[in-house]
Amino acid sequence: MNDLPTPTGRDAALADAVTAWLAPRFDEMEALLQRLVNMDSNSFDKAGTDLVGEAIAALLEADGIAVTRLAKPTYGDVFRAEVPGRAGNAPALLLGHRDTVFPKGTPATRPYSRDGNLAYGPGVCDMKSGLVVNIFTLRALKAVGGLSFPVVALFTGDEEIGSPEGRQDIEAEARGARAVFNTEPGRISGNVVTGRKGGCSFIISVKGRAAHSGVNFADGASAISALARKIVKLDALTDPATGITTNVGVVRGGITYNTVAGAAEAELDLRFVTPAQQAPLMAAIADIIAAEDVPGTTATLTARPGFPPLEEKYAAPLFALYEPTARGLGFEVEGEFTGGCADSGFTASLGVPTLCGLGPVGGRAHTDEEFCRLDTLVPRTQALAATLCRLA
């Protein structure tokens, strides 16, 4: 794991300058948040997700911040922005994803709205508000002349589906980085994220033999019965004491109640805490799927893109810088562990110091009640920018 030096010199002195530059920017930040929330950007809507990226790029380029577009064939392109350093030191990396889980057209029927201190809308906390934090952090650093090291931000377009195309760019940038900051939502508690579970998901497909359940029942081989037995075995892998969970959240199969099912399908979610847990679990799941639980049936397992865990040891050095910075800005924060996955797992798995959940406080993500606490928009941006100054 990279060691972080004690902050000294000109960079540390710029913390007050970036904080002051950001202090009067609330109206600008909220206006940008509203604009981004009202833009379609479902993970599978490449055109919409890319329009969000183009809007971000135009704003940054207007401030003289260089943006490079890395084309992707299927999902949203990656937009790479950089505020150069005064020397050729290893960069700090900011992460943020533009995609949301909400279907195309959602912003038209449920656009950005505000009720007092709370903002609502599709993706308002996960993670359009985090994008605003990254954008204004870059602008603040540019305004004060940059740091001794470059600050790079990746605005990706496919995190909600496991970053199948964005991952390679995240890992490539992280390998040369001194630290990574991910502006996923701050927790409802107000805390930042210092640990995350790893996770992956699977499609389980079972084939059997269809038959009439009354006339020739014995000729059939029920795919549903086989799948049910597998689900019981998969459930038995859950071990709350070690943080391992398996969840079959979707089941499909059969055509009528009086037909022995010729096919069935399920979707499995797996979560784990440490990298060492993953391989044995994958082997156990493969064995369960390979077993012929009902004679005449076969099953296959298809893995989707997944995330490594963010182990707390990789967040600790950055949290040690962030926590006193936040306290100096007037808010208390602790580190918090969450079962959710994020791109921060990719960078931590490379041994790079990584801190997550640095966006504004929000909650109820992926629902119609998703919200963002607007009073945390400026302070969380100030804390990130000032922490970068103190990275030395």
> Which pLDDT tens digit goes with each residue over 133-185?
999 999 999 999 999 999 999 999 999 999 999 999 999 999 999 999 999 99
The C-alpha torsion from 154 through 160 and 164 to 166, rounded to 10°, is 0
CA distance 127 to 374: 14
Here the tokens at position 212 are 């009439």
Residues in CB range of 320: below 8 A, 6 or more apart: none
Q: How far apart are CA 271 and CA 279, in angstroms?
A: 12
Dihedral angle at the C-alpha atoms of 174, 2, 306, 156, nearest 10 degrees? -30
Task: Determine the pLDDT at residue 101.
Answer: 97
Residue 88 has pLDDT above 80, yes or no: no
Q: pLDDT of 207-239, one tens digit each?
A: 999 999 999 999 999 999 999 999 999 999 999
What pLDDT is attached to residue 154?
A: 98
CA distance 134 to 259: 55
What region does 243 belong to: left with phi over 0, alpha with psi -120 to 50, or beta?
left
352: which residues sit within 8 A by CB, 6+ positions away? 1, 2, 174, 175, 177, 178, 179, 180, 314
Is the pLDDT assigned to residue 385 strictly greater than 90?
yes
pLDDT over 60 (residue 4): no
Query: Got the DSSP string for 327-384?
Result: HHTT----EEEES---THHHHHTTT--EEB--S-BEE-TTSTT-EEEGGGHHHHHHHH
Position 7 scores a pLDDT of: 45
Band of the pLDDT at 314, cuts 50, 70, 90? very high
Candidates 84, 209, 89; CA nearest to 153 is 84
Residue 2 has pLDDT above 50, yes or no: no
Tell me what percent of the residues of the chain surpass a pLDDT of 90.
95
Q: What is the pTM of this model?
A: 0.94
pLDDT confidence tier of residue 5, bands split at 50, 70 and 90: very low
DSSP 209: B
- The confidence band for 367, taking pLDDT boundaries of 50, 70 and 90, is very high
When pLDDT is averaged across residues 310-335 and rounded to a whole number, the result is 98
Residue that the structure tokens 């497909």 belong to: 205
* Residues present in the chain in total: 392
Q: Which tens digit of pLDDT belongs to each residue from 108-127?
A: 999 999 999 999 999 999 99
User: Would you state the pLDDT for residue 87?
Assistant: 84
Measured between alpha carbons, how far is 349 from 347 in angstroms, rounded to an integer? Answer: 5
3-state secondary structure of 168: helix
pLDDT at 253 over 90: yes
Burial 287-313 (b: 16+ CB within 10 A, else e): ebbeeebbeebebebeeeebbbbbbbe
Tokens of 115: 């009720």
Tell me if residue 392 falls in helix, strand or coil: coil
What is the pLDDT confidence band of residue 12, given thresholds at 50, 70 and 90?
confident
> What is the rounded distance in angstroms from the CA atom of residue 101 to the CA atom of residue 41?
8
What type of residue sits at position 7? P
Query: Mean pLDDT in the chain?
Result: 96
Q: Is the pLDDT of residue 251 over 90?
A: yes
Q: Is 232 helix (H, G, I), strand (E, B) or coil?
A: helix
With 90 as the cut, is the pLDDT of residue 9 above it? no
